[in-house]
Structure 1
Amino acid sequence: MKLIVGLGNYGSQYEATRHNAGWIALDQLIEKYGFTQQKNEHNSIIFFSTVNNEKVLFVKPQTYMNNSGIAIQAIMHYYKIEIKDLVILHDEKDFPVGKNQFKMNGSAAGHNGIKSVIQYLGTQNFNRYRIGIGQPEQGWKIIDWVLSKFKPEELENIILASKSISNFVNDWTKGTTFQNIMNLYN
């Protein structure tokens, strides 16, 4: 079983914000692969899918960004998912919009959602897909920047980039290692 989690905040006021880049990317995967069932459990919306005869859970935690680890830990425990079978999709302010990257392991680098995941999983050794949202413009505080809406052309860029890497799920469920996913898509 594979677990793909998009980090974000729930509520209409957060739709299309930079901090919800993980949810935006996850929506593209859900659109491509579909789902057979949807449940609200473990403080999350879980979309159940099957790709190449492998169960895949697409997850949107409903804990707000800074408490994402609570939901992810609960899902991993309940469904007995190994850390190697987890990918977190999240915003990355150190990358410009349009630059995205798969990554294995690493610190939170100031990202509070990732910090929560590390805290609750007890490790920083998990797979990620980092989605560039750019640095704050002159005069912006980081918190205001990440909670600001994407410009229409930026949002389109995020959607197109997410669609372009969506085949990683197909490759991953066929047994391609995450190291090879990075080699193929980065």
Structure 2
Amino acid sequence: MKLIVGLGNPGRKYKKTRHNIGFRTIDALLDRHGWKLNNSKFHGDYAIEHFNGEKIVLLQPQTYMNLSGESIRPLMDYYDIETEDVIVIYDDLDLPTGKIRLRQKGGHGGHNGVRSTIEHLGTKEFKRIRLGVGRPVNATPVVDYVLGKFPKDEKEAVEQSVQDAADAIEAWIEGKPFVEVMNDFNQ
């Protein structure tokens, strides 16, 4: 069983913000396959589905970003999911908008959702997909920036990065080694 986690904040007001690009990737996978997040437990909304003979869980933690690990860990424990079968999708200020980067492990890089995930999993060794949102170019505080929406001129690049992330996840679920997926999708 594989666990695909998109990080974000719950509620309509955060729906299209930069910080919710992980949720948007989960939404893209749901839309592609006609799936629904029809379970609410473990402080999250999730779906259990089958794809290419693999049982998968798609999770959107409802804890708010900074407490994401409080949703991920209990779900992993309940379904007996190993860390090597987890992939976490989240926004990254250090990548330009529209770029994606896959990694097998790493630190939190200042991202509080990833920090919480590392704390609750007890390891930095889980797969991740970072989707670029760029950095503020003016004096906008980072918090306001990540909780802001993408400007119209970035929407196409954002949508392409979300679709690329969804493609990468599907390739991994289909059995392609993650190193090969990284080689295919890292830009």
> What's the C-alpha RMSD, in Å, of the aligned pairs?
1.4
Q: Which residue of 2 aligns with 1:137?
A: 137
| TM-aligned CA deviation for residue 180 of structure 1 | 1.4
Identity %: 38
Does residue 49 in structure 1 map to residue 45 in structure 2? no
Q: Which residue of 1 aligns with 2:98?
A: 98
Does residue 12 in structure 1 map to residue 41 in structure 2? no
Q: Which sections of structure 2, spanning at least 5 residues, go unmatched?
A: none
TM-score (norm: length of structure 1): 0.95
- Secondary structure of the residue aligned to 1:171 is helix
| TM-aligned CA deviation for residue 18 of structure 1 | 0.7
Q: Which residue of 2 aligns with 1:69?
A: 69
Does residue 39 in structure 1 map to residue 27 in structure 2? no
What amino acid does structure 2 have at the position aligned with 1:152? Answer: K
| TM-aligned CA deviation for residue 151 of structure 1 | 1.1
What amino acid does structure 2 have at the position aligned with 1:16? Answer: K
- Secondary structure of the residue aligned to 1:129 is strand
Alignment deviations for residues 18-62 of structure 1 (CA, whole Å, 9 cap, x no partner):
111111121111111332771011111002221111111111000
CA–CA separation in structure 1 for the residues paired with 2:93 and 2:36 = 34
Q: Which residue of 2 aligns with 1:166?
A: 166
CA–CA separation in structure 2 for the residues paired with 1:145 and 1:169 = 27
CA–CA separation in structure 1 for the residues paired with 2:148 and 2:181 = 31
Any conservation in 2 of the 1:38–1:47 contact (CA below 8 Å)?
yes
CA–CA separation in structure 1 for the residues paired with 2:142 and 2:37 = 37
| Range with greater deviation from structure 2 (90-99 or 160-169) | 160-169
Alpha-carbon distance change, 59 to 168 in structure 1, aligned in 2, over 3 angstroms:
same
CA–CA separation in structure 2 for the residues paired with 1:28 and 1:119 = 28
Any conservation in 1 of the 2:103–2:182 contact (CA below 8 Å)?
yes
| TM-aligned CA deviation for residue 171 of structure 1 | 2.2
- Secondary structure of the residue aligned to 2:63 is coil
Alignment deviations for residues 64-116 of structure 1 (CA, whole Å, 9 cap, x no partner):
00000010001110000011111100000001101111111110010000000
CA–CA separation in structure 2 for the residues paired with 1:65 and 1:36 = 21
Alignment deviations for residues 143-170 of structure 1 (CA, whole Å, 9 cap, x no partner):
1111111112323322222223423233
Q: Which residue of 2 aligns with 1:185?
A: 185
Any conservation in 2 of the 1:33–1:49 contact (CA below 8 Å)?
no
Alpha-carbon distance change, 37 to 120 in structure 1, aligned in 2, over 3 angstroms:
closer
CA–CA separation in structure 2 for the residues paired with 1:119 and 1:70 = 9
TM-score (norm: length of structure 2): 0.94
- Secondary structure of the residue aligned to 1:166 is helix
CA–CA separation in structure 2 for the residues paired with 1:177 and 1:33 = 23
Alpha-carbon distance change, 36 to 151 in structure 1, aligned in 2, over 3 angstroms:
closer
Aligned length: 186
